[in-house]
Amino acid sequence: MSETTPAADTPLRASGVRTTWQRQAILAALTGRTHPMTAQAVHSALTGAGHRIGLSTVYRALHRLAEVGLLHTFEVGGERAYRRCPDTPHQHLLCDDCGLVTECPPHLVETWLRELRAATGFTPHADRIDLHGHCATCTATPAT
């Protein structure tokens, strides 16, 4: 497959990464997902959609896309997983039960960081904060 996907082409060009159909397909597969995907899951999704792509190509592309900031990485079940996130600064709320990743509302983080600085004098790097816990659905669902 060598068609181009304009939605995936734009961020690649903006990041200075060479545009390939493989990178475009990987970005497209990860865009809009609420759960990070491992390289194997991305590979399965792409091959299931009819793309002929090697697993090693998927690994290399994911690594490069994360390196330039187009993907965020997460630890999921002892494996590295990837997710396409908004381009604006944000923090993540990660559910330890179901794996859901959501972005924390920026105004909450800004307020918390101001209070943290005032109380402790500590100024954290707020470009990436991952808070682990339990999402509303998992909290409301009794354990079986």
| pLDDT reported for residue 16 | 76
Average pLDDT (62-79) is: 91
| pLDDT reported for residue 144 | 57
**CA dist list (Å): 120 to 59, 107, 108, 126, 131:** 41, 20, 18, 16, 20
Q: Is the pLDDT of residue 129 over 90?
A: no
Average pLDDT, the chain: 86
| Interatomic CA distance for residues 107 and 37, integer angstroms | 28
Average pLDDT (97-108) is: 86
**CA nearest 1: which of 66, 77, 57, 63?**
57
| Apex 36 CA angle, 28 and 26, nearest 5 | 25
| Interatomic CA distance for residues 87 and 96, integer angstroms | 24
Q: What are phi and psi of 34, to 5 degrees?
A: -95, -15
Question: Which of 8-22, 33-47, 126-140 has the largest mean confidence?
Answer: 33-47
| pLDDT reported for residue 105 | 82
| pLDDT reported for residue 125 | 77
| pLDDT reported for residue 107 | 82
71, 82 in Cβ contact below 8 A?
A: yes
DSSP state of 99: -
